[in-house]
Amino acid sequence: MIEISDVLLGPDVEESVLSVLRSGRLTQGPKVSELEAAFASMCGVRHAVAVNNGTTALVAAFRVLDIGPGDEVIVPAFTFVATANAALETGATVRLVDIDSSDFCIDTGAMSEAVTSRTAAVVPVHLFGHPADLGKIAPFAEEQGLRIVEDAAQAHGASFAGRPVGGFGTGCFSFYATKNLAAGEGGIVTTDDDEVAERLRVLRNQGMRVRYEYEVVGNNYRMTDLAAAVVLPQLARYCQQVERRRANARVLAELLHDLPELALPTVAAERTHVWHQYTVRVLASLSRDELADRLREQGVASGVYYPKPLQQYDCYREHPRVIADPTPTADAVASTCLSLPVHAGLTSTDLTEIAAAVRRALRPPRT
């Protein structure tokens, strides 16, 4: 089976984890600090604050920006559910808006129409590793006095106009097992704001700067040194890994571009894509689910990210703090999207097989 994701945990990761085990210090310590420094440097920001997962990164970002009850937060309806869950957990209201079919990210027109006097933040999700249109979002947020909380869980190292994502507001990243950088569980918040960074560090550690001196009502959002030790060696070779993903995406595009049954993913101007997923839209009479089944029969895994916009689930549609705008594009994309393997572990034979399997699935030989 050609899998949809792959983690490369080489001897360098084993060595790194062993050094933590041998040190006897399992919780947040020097490895976390090392990861924070390296990650901040990759994102070109002053601070990175590690936390225990990507959802926590979002919750912590909202909390330190004082977003909570009475505030509205604009979120694309087509995203992983964590984006909305984190905002709801703070007591804020989530306003779901449509996406753009060209990049699967928030539709900036829909975003501007969704602003009310209660809007406190916009949450662009850099979905599949492709940055949202920060060239429109950043000046709009500035003009309207809105915070930007970037959901960059899938977009480590992606950039807009030469600037890495995570530096356009408060950046939230995940190190979940299938992400481009994986710890199993882990997350990190990036910011250029010294005060926001300080508040994040205090919030993450039960509201303490000094032990047992509680300054605010905090929580335990800490990352373990074990998790940081898993990520650090991956970060050191991340540039090459992303180059492999890019090369894989180029090969898939070459092998699939002549199929009118598929709309292939594109990279918008001024953006670099880190190809967390290679997501096509199935325009054939064959349904997306049928294509996925036929690929599986041929040994090729694929993924449906995501099957429905959030407001199509009862728990969000009926939620008193969720407002859903009409999302015709998200509806259409959700019913036709399919992600093909693009990860750095693929060989050129794998890529040829993926493309051949897609072709056979869409155009079965007549018997």
Ligand X SMILES: *Cc1c(COP(=O)(O)O)cnc(C)c1O
Question: Whose Cβ is closer to ligand X: residue 36's or residue 151's?
Answer: 151
Q: For the CB of residue 81, give the shortest distance to ligand X in the complex, in Å.
A: 8
Number of H helices, E strands in the chain: 13, 16
Taking the C-alpha atoms of residue 81 and residue 153, their distance in angstroms, rounded to an integer, is 12
Taking the C-alpha atoms of residue 334 and residue 173, their distance in angstroms, rounded to an integer, is 23
CA distances from 9 to 3, 14, 182 (A): 16, 7, 9
Which residues in this chain contact ligand X in the complex, by CB under 6 A?
53-55, 79-80, 82-83, 125, 151, 153-154, 174, 176, 187
- 156 exposure class (CB count in 10 Å sphere: 0-12, 13-18, 19+): buried
Question: Whose Cβ is closer to ligand X: residue 125's or residue 252's?
Answer: 125
Strand order across the 163-164 sheet: 163-164, 159-160, 271-272
Residue of closest CB approach to ligand X = 54
Question: Whose Cβ is closer to ligand X: residue 87's or residue 292's?
Answer: 87
Q: For the CB of residue 130, give the shortest distance to ligand X in the complex, in Å.
A: 12
Strand partners, 94: 73, 322
Question: Whose Cβ is closer to ligand X: residue 130's or residue 288's?
Answer: 130
Q: For the CB of residue 125, give the shortest distance to ligand X in the complex, in Å.
A: 5
* Residues assigned a catalytic role: 179
Beta-sheet pairing, 159-160 with 163-164: antiparallel
3-state secondary structure 89-109: HCCCEEEEECECCCCCCECHH
Question: Whose Cβ is closer to ligand X: residue 154's or residue 329's?
Answer: 154
Q: For the CB of residue 153, give the shortest distance to ligand X in the complex, in Å.
A: 3
